[in-house]
Homo-oligomer: A and B are copies of this chain.
Amino acid sequence: MPVMPVRAYEPPYYAVVFTSVRTQDGGAEEYGETNERMEELVREIPGYLGMDYAGSPGGPAITVGYFRDADAIEEWRSNVEHRAAQKRGRAEWYERYTLHVAKVERSHGFERGQG
């Protein structure tokens, strides 16, 4: 699971917000393996900055991917292995999801003890 970063990135950058609810019977093992592979792959995309994830078993999940620019998102979106995973996601793993592609205008981080 990705570690939640404290620091915001320096704008401009993009946030890709993916909110999802899983199917009840959607092969959890293969889903997990695919997710790990996707995390490996996305790190190879030039302009990929990082990722946040939160969720609970059986509940909704939110993944936010951060990218330097729209080209980086397009490269990730059109990656062949990623496209195959998206297709399986719609066929088997997700009850529903929403994707928002957004350009970050400002951001800030807070960490306890750092004021």
Contact = CB atoms under 8 A, between A and B. Distances in A.
Interface in A1-35: 4-8, 14-15, 17, 19-21, 23
Q: Is the interface of A mostly helix, strand, loop or mixed?
A: strand
Given A101-B104, A101-B107, A102-B102, A60 B4 contact: yes
Centre residue among A7, A17, A59, A102 by max chain B CB count within 10 A: A102
Interface string A77-95: 0000000000000100011
Contacts of A52: 17, 19, 60, 62, 98
Given A94-B112, A102-B103, 10 more contacts: A6-B98, A17-B52, A19-B52, A53-B60, A54-B61, A96-B110, A97-B109, A97-B110, A98-B107, A99-B109
Interface of A: 4-8, 14-15, 17, 19-21, 23, 52-57, 59-62, 64, 90, 94-112
